[in-house]
Chain A
């Protein structure tokens, strides 16, 4: 994975489990607490999603309904597919929704997460 010059932003753990109906459920955790997976960005940073306790799954990438809104600048996936980084230079204010895309070892179909979102906050510089 290419290193960027941006600061390390939030690291969000992603856990995939199957419910009683064998339907996949994607859970997000930060500092051990369940969270929405959404991120608010106020300065350029790398947002990291890391798979935990999800044997048989790997990140394939992230898909966007609006990939041309320039809110996220790049997506990087680690060689082992266990980590995905959204590179957000925070040049554009706004909200973008995306879905994490996973491969699985049970079959050849791709799993999509429900959509977390990144919100780039437009912080006005202080007035003097």
Chain B
């Protein structure tokens, strides 16, 4: 009985956001400049975001498949992800009204702050501190490390929001493109004295790290993971996840 109530409440809370997202996708699709093969051919006659694909442009164009009603357009996503920055991909997705799917391109090149924002911005949900956060580190073609966070296969932004004292666990998930012999060394803080996080513990094998918060100190604490690898002797730092200690005021 309790589970049903909780689920129902969660859906009620999520419903407006899901509805907003669906509406935005419909607007994006309705205003997309390319809905048919004829639109695409016309686009090729002048400068367009597709030019970023350079020698791969015709390979990409030949991968584009239109449904009869023009509602579903598919294409080679891997070709975009392995050759372009997040911003370049976003501009191409706009052509097809699919810009809301940019978070699916986590292996895209990150060159600018806009690229980073597109891939790690507010579109991703918080991670749930109650469960371990799977942390992946992959090297792109420029050997730049890209951090990704997920729980049970669902991508989250690496940040957590807490309302009670909690032990947050991040676990490294090795992949084919991960730096060789990657190990966590610790976490660093731009302000280690704010009391938001009080203790950091790294497992002996360097594959997981735990952070313990103190909910009495409300506020936001940003931290960065510090890692070593067998690629070279330098330390890798992650971009900053954050902990938000929510100030739960008692009811008046």
- Which residues of chain A have a CB within 8 Å of any CB of chain B? 18, 22-24, 61-69, 72, 74-75, 99, 101, 104, 106-112, 114
- Quick check: is B197 within 8 A (CB to CB) of the other chain? yes
Known: A68-B139, A68-B145, A99-B188. A107 touches B193 (CB 8 A): yes
CB-nearest residue of chain A to B193? A22
Please measure, in the bound complex, the distance between the C-alpha atom of A63 and the C-alpha atom of B190, giving whole angstroms: 13
Question: A72 contacts which chain B residues (CB < 8 A)?
Answer: 234
Q: State whether A23 touches B191 (Cβ < 8 A).
A: yes
Question: A67 contacts which chain B residues (CB < 8 A)?
Answer: 145, 229, 231-232, 234-236
Question: B197 contacts which chain A residues (CB < 8 A)?
Answer: 109
Please measure, in the bound complex, the distance between the C-alpha atom of A73 and the C-alpha atom of B194, giving whole angstroms: 34
Interface string of B136-154 (1 = CB under 8 A from A): 0001001111000000000
Q: State whether A112 touches B189 (Cβ < 8 A).
A: yes
Known: A65-B237, A68-B145. A112 touches B231 (CB 8 A): no
**Given A23-B193, A68-B179, A111-B189, 14 additional A-B pairs, CB 8 A:** A18-B193, A24-B192, A67-B231, A67-B235, A72-B234, A75-B233, A99-B188, A101-B235, A107-B198, A110-B186, A110-B187, A110-B226, A112-B189, A112-B237
- Quick check: is B224 within 8 A (CB to CB) of the other chain? yes
Please measure, in the bound complex, the distance between the C-alpha atom of A13 and the C-alpha atom of B111, giving whole angstroms: 31
Question: B231 contacts which chain A residues (CB < 8 A)?
Answer: 67-68
- Quick check: is B177 within 8 A (CB to CB) of the other chain? no
The one of B188, B232, B233 in contact with A112, judged by C-beta atoms closer than 8 angstroms, is B188
A-B contact count (CB 8 A): 94
Question: B186 contacts which chain A residues (CB < 8 A)?
Answer: 110
Known: A64-B235, A68-B232, A74-B233. A114 touches B190 (CB 8 A): yes
Q: State whether A66 touches B144 (Cβ < 8 A).
A: yes
CB-nearest residue of chain A to B211? A109
Please measure, in the bound complex, the distance between the C-alpha atom of A121 and the C-alpha atom of B194, giving whole angstroms: 39
Of residues 190 through 246 on chain B, the ones whose CB sits less than 8 Å from some CB of chain A are 190-194, 197-200, 224, 226, 229, 231-237, 239
The one of A23, A64, A110 in contact with B234, judged by C-beta atoms closer than 8 angstroms, is A64
Q: State whether A109 touches B192 (Cβ < 8 A).
A: yes
Q: State whether A69 touches B143 (Cβ < 8 A).
A: yes
Q: State whether B189 touches A63 (Cβ < 8 A).
A: no
Q: State whether B234 touches A112 (Cβ < 8 A).
A: no
CB-nearest residue of chain B to A111? B192
Please measure, in the bound complex, the distance between the C-alpha atom of A67 and the C-alpha atom of B199, giving whole angstroms: 27
Q: State whether B145 touches A65 (Cβ < 8 A).
A: yes
